[in-house]
Structure 1
Amino acid sequence: MPLSSHPRFAVFALALLAGCATAPPAQVTREAPPQWQAPLPHEGSGAALSAWWRGQGDVLLADLIDAAQAASPNLATARAQIADARATRVGAGAALLPTLDGNLQASRSSAQPPLPMATVLQGALQARWEADLFGANRAGRDAAEARLAGAQAGWHEARVTLAAETASQYYQLRTCEKLVEVAAADAASRSETARLTSLAADAGFQAPATAALARATTAEGNSRLVQQRASCDIDIKALVALTAMPEAELRRRLQQQPGVLPQEAALRIPALPAAVLAQRPDLARAASELAGAAADIGAADAQRYPRLTLAGSVGAARFRSSTITGSLETWSIGPVALTLPIFDGGRRAANLDAARERYEAAASRYRAAARQAVREVEQALVTLDATARRGEDARVAVEGYSASFAGIEARYRSGLASLLELEEARRIRLTAETALLSLLNERTAAWISLYRAAGGGWDGALTISERTTP
């Protein structure tokens, strides 16, 4: 009898190796500063992230986000990845359980005379189970569960990203509409100035060159208006592509519900960066990938140790011919197989080294994602603080330049100011109004960036079955 098949040798080998367990890698800590360096809006108080979109009071925005989520190929891909990860997890968990297969056979054969033709019917149940002494299958199951959690977090990340993208495009369109109003008012003002200047020139009170200048500025204002309207049309088509909403319906709803840019969109930003990092789905996904890589190390390490499997079967057979009829029942337990890895040319050791390197790479990505998360929040906070401090000055500038333009326009109509003075004042006023709207749009974009950087209200307890807007 070979030594490896002796029962005492098997018991000795199991006792010797039972203490060999795979130790998980050391825990990786996130590289987060103890507190934010940029000032917090509203001292960190305000509405929760998960209710931010609804809290804007803009029904169309919320509907557009819902439509974008329904039409997004990225979300569809994320759902497919969850299905794949769930199937992998089920398969990995099944490796810990016994397998049971059924087998049915029927045959009819004829041998050489004088044996008659015979019919044979057979049925059997076959079972097999691996003891998983050193946790290879358990490590595979843990890795699959971690990657399923990562796929679910990736789905939430896609939702948050899509909501932010849709809101950015929507508020860009609303800003464009405000700029159209400014350009339309400016074009109308230029047209009225040109009309009065033409009348004065016809009466001999203004030089023909002044009338020509007035017509030129009118054409410039009309051109700017056409350009701004075209920009709004482009934004509408971008929203149509993003949400799959029919363009006619989108235009109708835009006209029915005038949009208002959020003036002070309140978000709750905790005092400690770690609290924000804990609610970001991309970091949850990176952490799941790290946990999966750690489990892969355990699975690769366990492959270097013995494997114990047990098999068994039970069956019945029935034989029938013209002269003989009989039945037979069979059962068996075994073989009990103990596989001892002895020499594989370094394959298992190389697989373990590769798993450890993958873990280090996942840890590096996790730390980098944490640093990037802090950076994104800090940048959004800096932009919010800067736009808040610039906002009041921009409003004062618009009011002052508008008053100056009104005074010069009155003087021009009284013949006390030149058209050049009037157009210079008009240009400055237009620049100030455009700058104010651009500043409001920049501040709105910063709020959206903060929403996204702070995790978008994602909660790890949410499941894929929920279809609510982030």
Structure 2
Amino acid sequence: MSMRLNLCGLVLLALFGFACSPHRAQKATLPGALPENYTADGGLNAERPLERWWEQFQDPLLDSLMAEAFEHNLNLEQAHARLGQFEAQARIAGAARRPTVGLQGAAGRVRQPGLFGAQTDNSYRLSVAAGFELDVWRKLASRSEAARLDTVAARQDLAALYLSLSARLADLYYLAVEQRSQLELVDRTIASFADTLQRVENRYREGLVPALDVYQSRQNLAAAKATRPAFEASLASAEHALAVLLGRLPDRSAAGSLAELPALDGAFPVGLPATMLQRRPDIAGALTRLQATDARVAAAIAERFPSFNLVADYGGAGSELGSLLDSPNIFWNLLVNLTQPLIDGGRRKAEVDRTRALFRENLGFYHQAVLQAFQEVEDALVQERTGTQRIELLEERVVATAGSLRLSTERYLQGLSEYLPVLTAQISHAEAQSVLLQARRQRIVARISLARALGGNWMDSFVEQRLSK
């Protein structure tokens, strides 16, 4: 008996101690060699990128809106709930690697025929049953690892959501600022055109100009007034969208009243391409999901190998409840079950093929995410550079149109020219100022896009703060 127990112990020790996986982990490769510097930057701004990038605008209201969004945004609420689901799923997968213990009991009354007539007795049974799957081929470990990596990926998705939320909020905030600037410009334009109309009407009453000049001036004023409702609607939409990002009902009070776009001085530090991969949570998430898929490949392969289950049962059975656990009524058993799949219609092999195909798909997704990230950085850098150049050229255009408007107005009022040059100059100057405002906001949008494309690590502190509550 002792030799049998020792032999059984040695077998179990071998099963526990020499567990191995029939699958060799696959490595995730990059889609190509990383460049030393970004093409559009040339290494001129290789300093470490800013973390809380929106603070560069030095706007206390924007800072407070960011804090409120990170606390109350409903997309973040859903993402945190999804993370909780993945954490629970990881615990479920991990539980399969631990023993299960259950209590079983039965009670009844049985009548059976016997040599001396029928006999009626009570029947009681109480036992503790335990089960444990020996993870010889690391099938359960691979499933647990895949679930753990899914949780890590969900957390990286959460960080990516913080990053995209910050960019979206800043974009809406400065869109609202631009629309207020456009409204102020429209109001100034309307006032200027109304003043011009008054002068034209005065000259018409004096018989100095034809009625056509009056109609053309009224036409210009009406056209300027017609642009105001569109800017008002755009401003309201931006303010409503910003309020919803904050987890509020749509209102127009959250976005403040700032009507002047900030000037951006200097270039935004971009760091090195090699560090960008570590700062982008979406790329990290794609890599983590790729690793989780590889773990599922290992689990699918292990599923084709024999499984070993240790089953134990200990308890008592008898006709009297009081003596159920007395020595004569005690029973126990210890079994090792082996199951080897033989014919399953190719199901397990097909599962291996499916997971391997999924790995290739996720590898392609990871490569695409890396390439897309570099494209976003390069595009944003080009937009930063060309946006600055465009603003300088548009400022020159505004100066030129202002001079043209001043001279054409003076010549018209002096009777040296017709009204058409004034009409053209008014339209050109108003359009130039409006386009300049748009270009200044696009410059800010490019800065926001660059900050988002470069990623960061600042999101981790907000995630930790939220999870600690």
Residue identity opposite 1:78 in structure 2 = A
**Amino acid across the alignment from 2:324:** S
- Taking a change above 3 Å as real, the CA distance of residues 309 and 259 of structure 1, as seen in their structure-2 partners, is farther
Per the TM alignment, residue 259 of structure 1 is displaced from its structure 2 partner at its CA by: 5.0
Alignment deviations for residues 168-222 of structure 1 (CA, whole Å, 9 cap, x no partner): 2221121111111111111100000111211222222332222222222222222
The answer to whether structure 1 residue 328 and structure 2 residue 325 are counterparts is: yes
Q: Which residue of 1 aligns with 2:80?
A: 79
Q: When the two structures are aligned, how many residues end up with a matched partner? A: 449
Give the C-alpha shift of residue 379 in structure 1. 0.8
Q: In structure 1, how many angstroms separate the alpha carbons of the residues matched to 2:70 and 2:237? A: 21
User: What pairs up with 1:352-363 in 2 under 5 angstroms?
Assistant: 352-363=352-363
Alpha-carbon separation, structure 2, partners of 1:268 and 1:104? 70
Map of 1:317-396 to 2, 5 A cutoff?
320=320, 326-329=323-326, 330-396=330-396
Q: Identify the residue that residue 98 of structure 1 maps to in structure 2.
A: 99
Q: Distance in 2 between matches of 1:313 and 1:152?
A: 42
Residue 199, structure 1, aligned to residue 202, structure 2: yes
* Map of 1:4 onto structure 2: none
C-alpha distance in 1 between matches for 2:21 and 2:464:
42
Is 1:217 aligned to 2:220, yes or no?
yes
Q: Deviations over 1:125-161 (max 9, x none)?
A: 2221122111111111111111111111111222222
CA root-mean-square deviation: 3.2
Change (3 A) 1:41 1:405: farther
Alignment partner of 2:158 out of 130, 134, 155: 155
Deviation at 1:40, TM superposition (A): 6.1
CA change 1:376–1:217 in 2 (3 A) is: same
Measure the CA separation in 2 of the matches of 1:203 and 1:422.
19
- Report the alpha carbon displacement of residue 117 of structure 1 after superposing the two structures with TM: 7.6
Residues 376-398 of structure 1, C-alpha deviation per residue, up to 9 Å, x if partnerless? 11111111111122222221221
Relative to structure 1, the CA distance from residue 415 to residue 162 in structure 2 (aligned partners, 3 Å threshold; closer, same or farther) is same
- Equivalent positions of 1:306-325 (< 5 A) are 306-316=306-316, 320=320
Cα gap change, 1:387 to 1:296, in 2 (>3 Å):
same
1:438-465 per-residue CA deviation (whole Å, 9 max, x = no partner) reads 111111111121122112x246855744
Kept in 2, the 8 Å contact 1:317–1:328? The answer is yes
Contact 2:55 2:63 in 1 (8 A): yes
Question: TM-score, normalising length from structure 1?
Answer: 0.85
Structure 1: 5+ residue stretches without partners: 1-6
Decide whether aligned partners of structure 1 residues 417 and 317 sit closer, same or farther in structure 2, where only a CA change above 3 A counts: farther
Structure 1 residue 335, shift from structure 2 partner: 1.0
Letter in 2 for 1:82: L
Q: How does 1:247-326 map to 2 (within 5 A)?
A: 247-248=250-251, 250-251=252-253, 254-255=256-257, 257-264=258-265, 267-271=268-272, 273-316=273-316, 320=320, 326=323
1:301-329 deviations in Å (ceiling 9; x for gaps):
112222222122333567548xxx53335
User: What residue is the counterpart of 2:38 in the other structure?
Assistant: 36
* Structure 2 CA distance for partners of 1:234 and 1:380, relative to 1, 3 Å: same
Change over 3 Å in CA distance of 1:467–1:176 after alignment to 2: farther
CA distance in 1, matches of 2:152, 2:304: 28
Report the residue type matching 1:43 in the other structure: N
Flag the 1:410–1:318 CA change in 2: closer, same or farther, 3 A: farther
The aligned counterpart of 2:465 is 466
Structure 2 contact 315–332 (Cα < 8 Å) conserved: no
| Structure with greater contact order relative to length (CA < 8 Å, sep ≥ 6) | 1
Q: Does 1:127 align with 2:126?
A: no
Equivalent in the alignment of 2:4: none
Check conservation: 1:46, 1:267, Cα contact below 8 A: no
Measured at CA, do residues 21 and 47 of structure 1 come closer, stay the same or move farther in structure 2, by a change above 3 Å?
A: closer
Other structure's SS at 2:131 match: strand
User: Using a 3 Å threshold, how does the CA distance of structure 1 residues 79 and 252 change in structure 2: closer, same or farther?
Assistant: closer
**Native 8 Å contact 1:109 1:118 kept in 2:** yes
Q: Larger deviation: 411-420 or 145-154?
A: 411-420
TM-score by length of 2: 0.85
1:168 aligns with 2:167: no
Classify the secondary structure of the residue corresponding to 1:29: coil
- The equivalent of 1:449 in structure 2 is 449
Deviations 1:62-92 (A, max 9, x none): 3444444555443333223212211221112
Does the CA-based 8 Å contact 1:67-1:245 persist in structure 2?
Answer: no
**CA-CA distance at 1:41 after TM superposition:** 9.3
Q: Which runs of 5+ in 2 are unaligned?
A: 1-6
For residues 400 and 45 of structure 1, do their structure 2 counterparts lie closer, same or farther at Cα, with a shift above 3 Å needed? farther
Q: Is the 8 A contact 1:187 1:225 kept in 2?
A: no
Corresponding position of 2:54: 53
Taking structure 1 as reference, are residues 156 and 21 closer, same or farther at Cα in structure 2, changes over 3 Å only? same
Cα distance in 1 for residues equivalent to 2:228 and 2:20? 80
Equivalent position of 1:88 in the other structure? 89
